[in-house]
Structure 1
Amino acid sequence: MKRIGFFATTATTAAVLAASLAGTVTGSASAAPQVDPLTPGPHKVAEASYDLGNEAFQPNGFPKPVELAGQVYHPEKLADSAYPVVVFLHGRHVTCMSKTEPRPKLAWPCPTGYEPIPSHLGYDYVAKQLASHGYAVISLSANGINGNDSLDPQYGQRARGELVLKHLDLWNEWRSKPGGPVPITVTRSFDFTRIGLMGHSRGGEGVVNAVAQNALREKPYKLRALLPLAATDFERRIPVGITMATLQPDCDGDVSDLQGVHYYDDSRYYVNTDRATRNNVTVLGANHNYFNTNWTPSSGLQGAVDDWRGDASSPCHPSKPTRLTEQQQRNVGIGYIGGFFRHYLGGEKALGPLWRGETGVPASIAPATVNVSYHPPAASGQRLDVNRQDGFRDTNTLGGKVTATGATQTRCGGSGVEPASGSCLSKPGTRLTEPHRGWGFSGVIAGRTAWAATGGTVTNEIPAQHGDVKKYKALQFRGGVDFSDAANVAGQPQDLRIVLTDTTGKSASVKASEFGKALDYPLVSGAQGDVVPKLHLNQVRVPLTAFAGVDLTKVATVALALDVNPTGALAVADLVFTD
């Protein structure tokens, strides 16, 4: 039996087979987004709440029972065709507030004089937008797990996954039997063959657990899209066989090491038959809490704070133009959380250029800087790996020769827990500044490329049998600026040329800076204990049409020419041709 979303952890040795293609959608290239992701859809939105009790459900192995409560958002008009279903799960937050006591509590059920903090209502701005475009969105309360997860060896993560599936069971039952918060005629319009999951913080790891548990069911749900938002990754699970995007806020003061990026990094090449698409989204100036309106200071609710930590000199300080306001960050949420499900779950092809990284940030989401990395499945013929940069040998992933001239290359990442081991920084940092390096287990393996004089190159030979790349649309790689190395001028963007040469010797080159801000210098603070800077690996994507005059049926080499700036040091990974 095929199942969507098989999992493994890096601590296990069991073989993992990928499942069938999970909702991958492609679209045509475009110079600009064809739709504004912040424009509301045509549907009027209805919503309803439900609450079966504070102790209605006992997750397996969890120390105490928890609530079954949530909020549903859906188009008011019944569907001519079924509406995809999206489930939201909030993260760990204080659970109870009082009108008379100054401090909130982390407990469940709430003691006398306290009432539950409605964390699950904090995503209504995204939920209503999705519902207006023809989606049923169910946002779950997880206060019972938050109030007692310190008593659980798994920190409540498996209980969170089980809670998601329990709610799906309820809604599946309500499609044929009375008892739900909306009429059966409404729930029958919910498409249970297209289900997406979004989890925030520990809820992000919770929905990852839900996919893992679902895969073990005799009759699993059709989970098609997964979005861990500013997520934890305590168990270091590797999701495969399901379309996924991870979203990392650069000014996150809670999950400050941005460990959720490992869901993307660890799974890229884990199973060579995997047919799922992956994205990683990095948002500069965004913190952890502002994606939830009820965790945000303007809500007036107890426990709502700006989680970023630092002082007024930091680019993450609310007074700085590099820091997003509450509304600006919510615009990012609508555009990239909502846009993810609209594209990959609902099949809106017009959003494809945004998710392949072909376009800049939509004007409606400005001034946010958002970097998107795109990793399509090689198993479906959408990607040709040239050099994964997973170890510096004389040959690349295709078996072609690799030649470095005027540049030094060393392996970085893939290290254990020691900060000095395998660092991608010239001054080895910690897991806070190098989220891609990993902690506890091996992180992403990249290559550190440095040059001290203009004119260096790193050339990858393309074997003849792989030289015809005309079916692909772009050449791309991921790169990150080493802010700890004086070879990169502080505050100045780094740059290089990408050079394509065919077998007749014809060449064409373009600058990376012409195609986005991936190699910009990261946000840096001089404040002690600030959450920035970070070494992000951002995508540089160049359309093959930019290489004028080169015969794309007979490509001989791909080179990175290090002659734009006199000196530099970069971490580089994932050099590929792609759709």
Structure 2
Amino acid sequence: MRLIMKTTVLAVAAIVAGSGTAVATGNPADARRVETVTYHLGDQAFTPPADLGNEGKNELDGVVYYPSDVSAGTHPLIMIEHGSWQTCADRAATDANTAAQAALAAAEKAGDDAEAARQQKIVEQTSARMWTWPCAPGVPPMPSNAGYEYLGRQLAQLGFVVVSIGTNGINATAAGQAPTVYYTRAALLNAQLTLWQQLASNGQGPLHGHFTDPATGKPRNVGFQGHLNMGDVGTLGHSMGGGGVLQQAADQRHGDWPAGVTVKAVFALAPTDNWNDEPVTQVPFAQMWGTCDQVNTGNYFAGNSGANQVPIYRYTLTGGNHDSYNTEWSPSGHQVGSHDDALPGTRPGTCASQFPDGPQQDQPQLTETRQRASPRPTSPRSSSASSTAATTSTPYSPASAARPACRT
């Protein structure tokens, strides 16, 4: 199966087309060995710009996947931003919350207002523990940014340096701040890219000396200086992260990009709507939606088709849900709060479709493994639309704007 990885490679194709940067040729023998480091500059190291009016601070951290021969040539950088999920891996609070929600539903069905009120209070109290930031002493933060390792490693094999950043602080303070949350997510991307631009250009800045081996916890020195092409940057976002990366790529937001940084391609996995309809017509992008995904609300393809000055793409993943893109959110990861978010269909092995304008229909549900399945590394140099038996792709190019092609 060639699902997420194939379409992700398509989305970042514009980064390397004609750039001469160090990417694989397509021969499996050319796939690089991948190494990983992490960094953590503080749970509240990022403060949103004051003019956004967003209250709350976010962590500046990341999981970095890179080819072991990173010192050979220059490499495009891809930054991943995860979506909204509980911020603290508090198992006791999560289990109590789940039980209280079930009891609340039962009390409401029975018309027991007193019991419903009692259970509602438990739901609110436990939710506060699950969604606080920073987390309480002894409670680990939810490692949502580690949930895209399968993508990070495959892309690093191709020669990309991939950085998956955390947004727990933003998630903890998003309630009641809907008008500013996507601008804040875009600002976080720019702040992280500023750190990487500093490191790439002169080897200095806050990232210098702060990389750690995730297996041993010991410091690691990695020679990124002079070996990152910050003029060839791609962004990838999931859920609200998808809305965030498209917010950052909006035409009128290019002036916010750090000096020396150019975003060349964007990929949005099940993006949510960022509510402001700012056009994205100058950066190639792709969006993917699973037919059993209850959450996806952002149809950026339709909103920009016809006005786009560069190719854009839309993918429909038959039987895909929302959470399986992130291994930390999915049942097989055994993480606190993980679950399968698809609604069961009427037959075994199916899920109920979530088409916006149609009735629910049984879809052959993808397992987590199939939804995240990837091919052997291939070169991302072709920008032509690609698809598989399980996906429908719709490329939209200005050159063929009269009638977008559709292939399955």
TM-score by length of 1: 0.52
Judged with a 3 Å threshold, the aligned counterparts in structure 2 of structure 1 residues 371 and 40 are, in CA distance, closer, same or farther, namely: farther
- CA drift of 1:135 comes to 0.6
Cα drift, residue 238 of structure 1: 2.0
Equivalent pair of 1:95/1:117 in contact (CA under 8 Å): yes
1:48 to 1:24, Cα distance in 2 relative to 1, 3 A: closer
What is the alpha-carbon root mean square deviation over aligned residues?
3.0
Aligned to 1:369: 390
Distance in 2 (CA, whole Å) between partners of 1:291 and 1:41 is 27
The whole-number CA distance in structure 2 between the counterparts of 1:49 and 1:218 is 22
Match of 2:72 in 1: 80
* 2:401 pairs with 1:356: no
Q: Say yes or no: does 1:121 pair with 2:143.
A: no
- Taking the aligned partners of 1:242 and 1:129, their CA distance within structure 2 comes to 23
After superposition, the C-alpha distances for 1:296-346 in whole angstroms (9 at most, x for unaligned) are 0111111111111245437317xx981111110011xx469x97xx52xxx
Q: Which has the higher strand share?
A: 1
Q: Check conservation: 1:41, 1:134, Cα contact below 8 A.
A: no
> 1:540, CA displacement in angstroms?
4.6
CA 1:73–1:217: 2 relative to 1, 3 Å: closer
Task: Classify the secondary structure of the residue corresponding to 1:316.
Answer: strand
The residue correspondences of 1:396-415 to structure 2 (distance < 5 A) are: none
Asked if structure 1 preserves the Cα contact closer than 8 Å seen for 2:71 and 2:223, the reply is: no
Deviations 1:161-206 (A, max 9, x none): 1111111111111222133426462243121111000000000011
Q: What secondary structure does 1:87 align onto?
A: strand
Distance 1:194 1:67, change over 3 A: same
For the residues of structure 2 that align with 1:227 and 1:281, how far apart are their CA atoms? 11
**1:299 pairs with 2:299:** no
Note the C-alpha offset of 1:285. Answer: 0.6
Q: In 1, distance between residues paired with 2:331 and 2:180?
A: 26
Partner SS state of residue 328, structure 2? helix
Aligned residue in 1 for 2:7? none
**Identical amino acids, percent of aligned pairs:** 27
CA distance in 2, matches of 1:70, 1:184: 14
CA contact (8 A) 1:23 1:243 kept: no
Is 2:232 aligned against 1:198?
no
Partner residue in 1 for 2:367: 325
Among candidates 201, 222, 227, match of residue 262 of structure 2: 222
Q: Which has the larger radius of gyration?
A: 1
1 or 2 for the larger relative contact order (CA 8 Å, sep ≥6)? Answer: 2
Q: Does 1:58 align with 2:47?
A: yes
SS in 1 for 2:147: helix
After superposition, the Cα gap between the structure-2 partners of 1:170 and 1:148, relative to the gap in structure 1 and judged at 3 Å, is: same
Amino acid paired to 2:65? Y
Indicate how the Cα distance of structure 1 residues 99 and 113 shifts in structure 2: closer, same or farther if over 3 A, else same: farther
Q: Does 1:93 align with 2:85?
A: yes
Once the two structures are TM-superposed, the CA of residue 222 in structure 1 deviates from its matched residue by 1.0
Structure 1, unmatched stretches of 5+, are 1-20, 27-33, 362-367, 389-475, 478-538, 542-579
The answer as to 2:209 corresponding to 1:179 is yes
CA separation of 1:100/1:187 partners in 2, compared to 1, >3 Å: closer, same or farther? farther
Normalised TM-score (structure 2): 0.73
Alignment partners' CA distance in 1, 2:210 and 2:254: 22
2:36 maps to 47
List aligned pairs for 1:426-441, cutoff 5 A. none
**Which amino acid letter does the alignment assign opposite residue 75 of structure 1?**
P
**Maintained 8 Å contact 1:196/1:226:** yes
Residue of structure 1 in register with 2:216 after alignment: none
SS at match of 2:31: coil
Q: 1:187 to 1:308 in 2, by over 3 A?
A: farther
Answer yes or no: is 1:249 the counterpart of 2:290.
yes
Q: Describe the shift of the 1:40–1:303 C-alpha distance in structure 2 as closer, same or farther (beyond 3 A).
A: farther
Q: Is the 8 A contact 2:91 2:336 kept in 1?
A: no
Rounded to whole Å, the distance in 2 between the matches of 1:90 and 1:251 is: 20
AA matched with 1:316: C
CA distance in structure 1 between the partners assigned to 2:364 and 2:79 by the alignment? 31
Amino acid at match of 1:323: Q
Task: Please say if residues 214 and 221 of structure 1, whose CA atoms lie closer than 8 Å, have aligned partners that are also in contact.
Answer: no
> Could you list the runs of 5+ residues in structure 2 that have no partner in the other structure?
1-12, 19-24, 97-128, 212-219, 353-361
Q: What residue number does 1:68 align with?
A: 60
Give distance in 1, aligned partners of 2:263 and 2:151.
Answer: 20
